[in-house]
Chain A
Amino acid sequence: NAGVTQTPKFQVLKTGQSMTLQCAQDMNHEYMSWYRQDPGMGLRLIHYSVGAGITDQGEVPNGYNVSRSTTEDFPLRLLSAAPSQTSVYFCASSRTGGRNEKLFFGSGTQLSVL
């Protein structure tokens, strides 16, 4: 059981380039989300999804797009990378419903935008 898988682990981009961070989970979780983590700040929610075909914005959605065509996958797209998007990105998933809403996190993607 792989859990939450993120690719790539490391990425360097030039300003203005685009790329997609991949996230996949094999636990049949309905809820998936993307966070960024910056020094001196807590994790901040970028976008989230409560099921296939449903997405919503988190705290810091600007500059990022998401889609959820399947239950398993939740890619994060940077259309035109900016240095301010240099960060560590985490994908997380959980079951929907009930009290036991613990999140399962991937191992992260370290992104540098030059």
Chain B
Amino acid sequence: DAKTTQPPSMDCAEGRAANLPCNHSTISGNEYVYWYRQIHSQGPQYIIHGLKNNETNEMASLIITEDRKSSTLILPHATLRDTAVYYCIVRVVNAGNNRKLIWGLGTSLAVNP
């Protein structure tokens, strides 16, 4: 079962910030939160990931709450090319130190002109 919950769809005006929420209330202490996006049936593209600290890179910012039960992906100035399905994913590390990503259904973000 997916361990994350996201709204199925969101809209954002071009040039404005897009804030995509994700709930991961059952996350464990050693599980990372990853964000990927998928543009029109292409292969998913990595955006950002974090454990408990906020993270920022050239694509986005990731805000993780102190209790780690939820996070928000921020696209600071959304463009039409950011229209995609955004996946919030928990990385599970099992006893054998093998890493698996558990994917949910994602949020379909539409950036409107």
A→B interface (CB under 8 Å): 4, 31, 35, 40-45, 48, 50, 56, 58, 88, 90, 92, 99, 101-108
Contact = CB atoms under 8 A, between A and B. Distances in A.
Contacts of A41: 105
Contacts of A101: 32, 49, 91, 99
B2 interface: yes
A6 B74 CA distance: 31
Interface residues of B, number: 23
Interface string B98-110: 1111111110000
Contact of B46 (A88, A99, A103): A103
Contacts of B21: none
A44 B103 contact: yes
B98 A103 contact: no
Given A41-B105, A42-B103, A108 B2 contact: no
A10 to B, nearest CB: 12
A102 B48 CA distance: 8
Contacts, number: 52
Given A48-B100, A56-B98, A42 B87 contact: yes
B43 interface: yes
A90 B43 contact: yes
A90 B32 CA distance: 22
A101 B34 CA distance: 10
Given A42-B2, A42-B105, A42-B106, A105 B99 contact: no
Contacts of B103: 35, 42-44
Contacts of A102: 34, 46, 49
Given A42-B103, A102-B34, 4 more contacts: A45-B101, A101-B32, A102-B49, A108-B41
A31 B100 CA distance: 11
The listed residue with most B CB atoms (<10 A of its CB), out of A41, A43, A44, is A43
Contacts of B42: 107-108
Contacts of B32: 99, 101
A105 B98 contact: no
A42 B45 CA distance: 15
